[in-house]
Amino acid sequence: MSTPHNDAEVGQIAKVVLMPGDPLRARLAAQTYLTDVVEFNAVRNMLGYTGTYKGVPVSIMGSGMGIPSMAIYSYELYNMYGVETILRTGTAGGLRRDVRLYDIVFGQAACTDSNYPRQFGMPGTIAPICDYGLLVRATGVAESIGASYHVGNLVSTDTFYSQSSTGEAWASMGVLAVEMEAAGLYLNAARAGKKALVMCTISDSLLSREVLSPSERQNSTMQMFEIALQVAIDDYAQGK
């Protein structure tokens, strides 16, 4: 069964999917870490691959940029392809001085300035959160390899080039970093009764104005992918 956005047949996508924003990063990760790799999607160049990592089936697929794109692909994965767990492996901008370049932020929850939550018709403001079990496993892996990481709130914004400065306001409420997809993923996971965790490598700082180059950004995410893949193994073993 294909969709307008995904040419995969049911069964071609693993129960656990890693989702970087950039489809080329998905291809690089699949080529680097997976064996017996099969490309299951190239529609709109949103590349998706399935292979095995240490004997465990894993898929890696791009999500595109922003909540609308993430929402389309994650909705289809959860509801049409039987995916149980999505691990977003993206980049983010740090909002605090202790959140430095190359650090990893695990999104315990996600604020947003998007209207995406309104469609659910909640009688108030919903707070999209991650799956706690995935968070515990991810931080445990990060500890074991000595990764520099933080756990806390993200903000998913609809505006990359914003006409107003809102970073200080979010930071004043303890938000660690800004990205563009987490809230949409967490909302879709909640509605589908599935699991999700967002982990982001800090690629720039809104305070210091430091920014990784494109090549540095590409290489900086490898440690995060290794954490995500170990979480995928643990999640697969738990679900067997």
In this prediction, residue 189 carries a pLDDT of 98
Global pTM value: 0.97
Q: Is 8 helix (H, G, I), strand (E, B) or coil?
A: coil
Task: Render pLDDT for 168-194 as a digit per residue (tens, 0 to 9).
Answer: 999 999 999 999 999 999 999 999 999
Q: What mean pLDDT is predicted for residues 24-49?
A: 97
- Residue 88 one-letter amino acid: R
Q: Which residues are catalytic?
A: 204
Average pLDDT over residues 62-85: 98
* Alpha-carbon gap, residue 149 to 152, rounded angstroms: 10
Radius of gyration of the chain (CA): 17
- In CATH, 16-239 is 3.90.1170.50: no
Is 70 exceeded by the pLDDT of residue 240? Answer: no
The single-letter code of the amino acid at 18 is L
Handedness of CA 36, 237, 33, 44 (dihedral sign): positive
What pLDDT score does 206 carry?
A: 87
Confidence band, pLDDT 50/70/90 cuts, at residue 69: very high
Domain boundaries, the chain: 16-239
Residues 141 and 94 sit within 8 Å (Cβ to Cβ): no
